Structure 1
Amino acid sequence: MAAGEFDLIARYLTPAPPSAAAGVALGVGDDCALLAPQPGQQLATSVDTSVAGVHFPAEAPPAAIGHRALAVSLSDLAAMGATARWCLMALTLEAPDEAWVAAFSEGFHALCDATGTALVGGDVTRGELAVGVTVLGEVPAVGALTRGGARPGEVLAVTGALGGGAGGLALWQRGERDLAHPLLRRYLLPQPRLAAGQALVGLASAAIDVSDGLLADLGHVLVASGVGATLDEAALPAAEGLGEALGEAAARRAVLAGGDDYELLVSLPQAYLASATQALAALGLSLTPIGRVTAEPGLRGVAAPGLGGWQHFGEAP
């Protein structure tokens, strides 16, 4: 007999013990979880839905799907400078495949453990394969990084490298299946920059995670802050091996608009750049200046017609 949703939840989606995490008064198994944020902290929360064939290949390793579904939501907490605390997960399956769920949960729980995130509830239902993950974190009441804090004269900088997510997707579509390939790992096993976001609190004025492409996400910051920007395209850090894998033109598109990188794009005063760079270097992560914030609206320094980034209901970039 195939396992029902309650069996799957009990066997694979319930942490053991369910209330071991700090701040969890009641975890998986009741109508609601009961959580206790720490005094003086604001609650930061975000939700993402990952749909097979849109956000990940349905035939991808289930452990990678589990990791990725949580990582993309945690990346939003990273962009706010928040500490991850809890998550809820809604899993939609076409059939109750226990082996698939076991591997999926292994990837999901491994990232929970690595980031200190407690799974405290969710749902399992029948339908097209999709994973919805809600994350909850904490950030000091006056410390959250937002999109609206960039000021003219500040430096724009990005963590890590760009284009790797799009490069990995392109390789997967060509038939590459070796998860040891660095570009494929960037796509299927992204690493949310939680520690980097926390290190940038008090240094950065604005931040966003690069999920839909550098140009699109930078655009959100410029609109929210009421400013413009000049980019130095030559300074943009491309993922290692991207040009060799895609060719020069496609690699440029991936860096500017490819999405799925989950790096942090920040605006910060020039006076804080050295401190921010040192703080991230201590985490083994680079911070690369890529431009300046300007008072004049608009984006200058890069010619990118048609490279608007990913939109679910827009034309493909």
Structure 2
Amino acid sequence: MSGGEGEFDRIARYFAPLAAGFPGALGLTDDAALLDPGPGRQLVVSTDAQIEGVHFLPAADPALVAAKILRSSVSDLAAMGADPLAYTLATFWTAAIESAWLARFSQGLAVEQAALGIALAGGDTVKTPGPLSFSVTVFGTVPTGAALRRNGAQVGDLVAVTGTIGDALLGLRLLREPDLAADWGVSDTEAAFLAARYWRPSPRLAPMAALRGVASAALDISDGLIADLGHITATSGVGIALDAAAIPLSPAAQKAVRRLALADLLTGGDDYEIALTISPKKAAILDEAARASGVPITIVGRCVAGSGVRVYDGAGQVLPLGQTGFRHF
């Protein structure tokens, strides 16, 4: 690492200020943090690895890297209906990372922490020959017994999603090939919107907290809607039938999909929206949660007997999908 700063100098300068809002972090001066979820609460813990060139684009604005790694990690808390508490951050720095990069990165984390209601509680920092990588562990709390899981879907339940699907995939493609915007017919403003959806996903904390004890199953959409719904079918022992026409698309995505297959948007990943199932008897609560949070929630299908996920077009034919989503292996 360049710049002449040692490990503990970097921690004290760039990261200890991020822990100021969480007393259990102990100022990042000890070997571990102290977490107290409070009476009647359960601790929710999730860890995500983020690697340059795999999870985020190389040579990007450090503030955007900060936004993507923290927001996508907090999305796991939203999926379980948890309230954010704290996070730990392991950083694997390359020799190219200098003080200016670190300053911009830590400033970005500070902005995102404030927006998400979470604080740094500790971590580790090491040097690596590359690539630049991070590991984020997020901690949240839920009332005891109220965490949303993947295994509660029942035949007859409705399937719903928050927000819109496919924006992040389109944003990533535009970041790699800006000339695609003209081919898709999207404006500069729409292109910027799609890029922002890639870099700054929105963890759906508010609507999912409102759906604790209401949704029968939930997860966040990281690898693609079809692939992630497949986890619900596998753990709940149901099939899922989706209505292609019901999939919510942003105005920009509606333009782009004229030149692309809808299947691309359903399997592209990085949405970090929430897919959930719910009894039809409780469907009105979806509208209440959407109104209260300002986050649209759209019914897109139903749980059926069988297994796997199928998407049906307007003629009742199964839409060919190919690969169902992003796969590491």
Same fold by TM-score, threshold 0.5 exceeded? yes
TM-score (norm 1): 0.92
**CA offset at residue 75 of structure 1?**
0.5
**CA offset at residue 249 of structure 1?**
5.0
**Alignment partner of 1:311 is 2:314:** no
Verify the 8 A CA contact 1:167 1:254 in the aligned structure 2: no
Bigger mean CA deviation after superposition, 303-312 or 129-138: 303-312
Identity in percent: 44
Of 252, 272, 280, which residue of structure 2 is paired with 1:241? 252
Render the CA deviation track for 1:78-125: whole Å, top value 9, x for unaligned. 000001101000111112411111111111121111122110101111
Unaligned runs of 5+ in 1: none
**Alignment partner of 1:280 is 2:290:** yes
Q: What amino acid maps onto 1:9 in structure 2?
A: I
Counterpart residue number, 1:182: 193
**CA offset at residue 214 of structure 1?**
0.4
**Higher normalized helix content (fraction of residues):** 2
Point out 4+ residue stretches in structure 1 off by more than 4 angstroms.
176-180
**Alignment partner of 1:113 is 2:124:** no
Verify the 8 A CA contact 1:242 1:251 in the aligned structure 2: no
Which secondary structure state, in structure 2, belongs to the residue aligned with residue 26 of structure 1?
Answer: helix
Counterpart residue number, 2:315: none
**Alignment partner of 1:201 is 2:212:** yes
Counterpart residue number, 2:72: 72
Verify the 8 A CA contact 2:25 2:32 in the aligned structure 1: no
Verify the 8 A CA contact 1:203 1:276 in the aligned structure 2: no
- 1:154-233 matched pairs, under 5 angstroms: 154-175=157-178, 181-233=192-244
Which secondary structure state, in structure 2, belongs to the residue aligned with residue 34 of structure 1?
Answer: coil
Verify the 8 A CA contact 1:236 1:255 in the aligned structure 2: no
CA distance in structure 2 between the partners assigned to 1:198 and 1:207 by the alignment: 12
Verify the 8 A CA contact 1:25 1:36 in the aligned structure 2: no
Bigger mean CA deviation after superposition, 109-118 or 226-235: 109-118
**CA offset at residue 37 of structure 1?**
1.4
Q: What amino acid maps onto 1:312 in structure 2?
A: H
Counterpart residue number, 1:13: 15
Verify the 8 A CA contact 1:256 1:307 in the aligned structure 2: no
Verify the 8 A CA contact 1:243 1:251 in the aligned structure 2: no
Q: What amino acid maps onto 2:9 in structure 1?
A: D
Render the CA deviation track for 1:51-98: whole Å, top value 9, x for unaligned. 000011111111010111111110011000001101000111112411
> Residues 118 and 295 from structure 1, CA distance in 2 versus in 1: closer, same or farther, beyond 3 angstroms?
same
Counterpart residue number, 1:252: 262
**CA offset at residue 247 of structure 1?**
4.5
Which secondary structure state, in structure 1, belongs to the residue aligned with residue 17 of structure 2?
Answer: coil
Render the CA deviation track for 1:254-297: whole Å, top value 9, x for unaligned. 32101100000000011211222221222111010000001222
Counterpart residue number, 1:4: 6
CA distance in structure 2 between the partners assigned to 1:297 and 1:68 by the alignment: 33
CA distance in structure 2 between the partners assigned to 1:136 and 1:173 by the alignment: 33
CA distance in structure 2 between the partners assigned to 1:199 and 1:82 by the alignment: 10
**Alignment partner of 1:149 is 2:152:** yes
CA distance in structure 1 between the partners assigned to 2:134 and 2:36 by the alignment: 26
**CA offset at residue 27 of structure 1?**
4.2
Counterpart residue number, 2:127: 126
Which secondary structure state, in structure 1, belongs to the residue aligned with residue 319 of structure 2?
Answer: coil
**CA offset at residue 20 of structure 1?**
3.7
Which secondary structure state, in structure 1, belongs to the residue aligned with residue 327 of structure 2?
Answer: coil
**CA offset at residue 26 of structure 1?**
2.6
Counterpart residue number, 2:57: 57
CA distance in structure 2 between the partners assigned to 1:220 and 1:247 by the alignment: 26
> Residues 58 and 25 from structure 1, CA distance in 2 versus in 1: closer, same or farther, beyond 3 angstroms?
closer
Verify the 8 A CA contact 2:146 2:213 in the aligned structure 1: yes
Verify the 8 A CA contact 1:163 1:256 in the aligned structure 2: yes
Q: What amino acid maps onto 2:228 in structure 1?
A: D
**CA offset at residue 231 of structure 1?**
0.8
Provide the aligned C-alpha RMSD in A: 1.9
CA distance in structure 2 between the partners assigned to 1:304 and 1:45 by the alignment: 36
**CA offset at residue 139 of structure 1?**
0.9
> Residues 12 and 19 from structure 1, CA distance in 2 versus in 1: closer, same or farther, beyond 3 angstroms?
closer
CA distance in structure 2 between the partners assigned to 1:106 and 1:199 by the alignment: 31
Verify the 8 A CA contact 2:167 2:250 in the aligned structure 1: yes
**Alignment partner of 1:102 is 2:103:** yes
Render the CA deviation track for 1:166-218: whole Å, top value 9, x for unaligned. 01100000148989811000001111111121111122110010110000000
Which secondary structure state, in structure 2, belongs to the residue aligned with residue 35 of structure 1?
Answer: coil
